[in-house]
Amino acid sequence: MKAFLKRRWILLSCGVLLLACSVVSWRLMATGNAVLRARNAYLVGASPVWSVGIEDGTFYCSRIINTKLRCEEVPRVHRPQFGSLPLIISGATSAYLHIPLWILLSAVLGWIVFRELRWRDKQRKLAEDAA
């Protein structure tokens, strides 16, 4: 087990980080050069607003052109959620990219399995060649 952890610590760290993200919702908003993290932030005007975060198990990035925006999101902890379906929408006044955490976690776990099977096959061939 210790050897496995030494070989795969980077991928396992990515998996643990994704699991930690599944229990937290947070949002980071930016307009121009100002980053809005305050509670009850109000924006007036037709400037594009970028929003990045994790909400209900979905990583998202969106751009909205809105005349009035209100943000009351503060980081919160909830039961683990891994999102539902991916979503990509692009329009004249907005763009959305939603990537569920289950897709990212599946990629990390699949890569761990692939690398481990490949490593075991390589060790088996080395043992056969030595014998």
In sequence order, the 6+-apart residues with CB closer than 8 A to the CB of 62 are: 50, 51, 52, 94, 95, 96, 97
Give per-residue pLDDT as tens, 69-101.
555 567 888 899 998 899 888 877 778 899 999
d(CA 21, CA 68): 29
The pLDDT score that the predictor gives to residue 47 is: 59
pTM score of the predicted model: 0.70
- b/e for 18-52, b at 16 or more Cβ within 10 A? beebbebbebebebeeeebeeeeeebeeeeebebe
> For all residues of the chain together, what is the average pLDDT?
80
